[in-house]
Amino acid sequence: MENANVDEKILSYNDVVLRRSDLDILSGPYFLNDRIIEFYFSYLASCYPFEDVLLVPPSITFWIKECPDIASLKDFVEPLYFSRKQLILFPINDNTDVTIAEGGSHWSLLAFERNENIFVHHDSSGGINNTHANRVFRAVIYCMSSDARYVDCSFTPRQVNGYDCGLYVTAVAREICRWYGSDERPKHVKDLWFSAVKEQITPFLVSKMRNEILELVQSLMVK
In-domain check, residue 9:
no
Is residue 174 very low, low, confident or very high in pLDDT (cuts 50, 70, 90)?
very high
Q: What is the CATH number of the domain that holds 107?
A: 3.40.395.10
**Strand intervals (E) in the chain:** 9-13, 16-19, 53-55, 87-93, 107-113, 118-122, 149-152
In-domain check, residue 4:
no
Q: What is the pLDDT of residue 1?
A: 40
Whether the predicted model's global pTM rises above the 0.85 cut: yes
Q: What is the pLDDT of residue 189?
A: 62
In-domain check, residue 28:
no
Dist. CA 207–CA 133, nearest whole Å = 25
Q: What is the pLDDT of residue 184?
A: 64
CA angle 180, 55, 70 (to 5 degrees): 125
In-domain check, residue 134:
yes
In-domain check, residue 160:
yes
In-domain check, residue 222:
no
Domain extent at residue 205? 50-210
In-domain check, residue 132:
yes
In-domain check, residue 34:
no
Domain count, the chain: 1
- Asked if the model's pLDDT at residue 3 lies above 60, the reply is no
